[in-house]
Structure 1
């Protein structure tokens, strides 16, 4: 496998990344959006005014595979040392080690910016992401039952945490 590159998000990347995200909206319970996200809303979710929070396009052989980002966990100052990690990969790249490499990359980025703790929230149905986070040292710290309603049924979420400093 060729090495992965993580390039800072550019505006021209947004439509492709939005298509990846909307695939999961339409075909899985991994996103709790129930309808495809429009360009303005998606753009707002991946572009951050504060440079401590970033979105990176995951590249291999000059082809985008998905994105990884660190964003605010909450919008209160006491949470400033905690970031929330999100990873979405194009379905053809799932299960090939790209997710783990992306976690390692974003953890290094987070450490350099003074983060202490990282949080990841995953739909309980998403066994691949749960396995990926636990394999990379994240521990389950919360389990919320029936907090999302999609496709006529309730879904649980699991929150994972890793102390990185």
Structure 2
């Protein structure tokens, strides 16, 4: 059975559902470096931005909300204006279905249309599925920070991947 992947703009009603997806990863994995569930206000601040160059898209699979992809500021200083930070979170049952690739293609097209030159993503080094997805889609590792996070009594590394678009 072929599944249809669609992307649409974030709507306010989507935010609690997306927060639930995000908080699943907070509570059950090292994918997120939050150690406690985020509140609705915290999550809203992370997915809504007043500048239209920074955008969150909802990922729909066969008409059902399954996650989000976003491009947000990489850094706040002006010289970074052509760089964006990409984040993807999918419902746990959607991992490994090609949705991440479609999401990257979608956000890259948006980024190109909006004057971005480079996209980066910072990933916990234990997150093999995300690393595979970004690598498969032309991103390369440009940084590795050792033991910069502490979650559940374990020090964690982060790796940063980038793609010049």
TM-score by length of 2: 0.98
What residue in structure 2 maps to residue 144 of structure 1? 145
What residue in structure 2 maps to residue 74 of structure 1? 75
What residue in structure 2 maps to residue 29 of structure 1? 30
Output one character per residue of 1:39-74: Cα deviation in whole Å (capped at 9) or x when no partner.
000000000110000000001221011000000000
Give the C-alpha shift of residue 153 in structure 1: 1.0
Partners of 1:30 and 1:60 lie apart in 2 by 22
Question: Residues 2-17 of structure 1: matches in 2 within 5 Å?
Answer: 2-17=3-18
Query: Where in structure 1 are there 5+ consecutive unaligned residues?
Result: none
What residue in structure 2 maps to residue 106 of structure 1? 107
What residue in structure 2 maps to residue 154 of structure 1? 155
| Deviating 4+ runs (over 3 angstroms) | none
Partners of 1:89 and 1:103 lie apart in 2 by 12
Query: Where in structure 2 are there 5+ consecutive unaligned residues?
Result: none
Output one character per residue of 1:71-111: Cα deviation in whole Å (capped at 9) or x when no partner.
00000000000000000000010000000100000000000
Partners of 2:17 and 2:72 lie apart in 1 by 20
CA RMSD in angstroms comes to 0.5
TM-score by length of 1: 0.98
Output one character per residue of 1:6-33: Cα deviation in whole Å (capped at 9) or x when no partner.
1100000000000000000000000000
How many matched pairs?
164
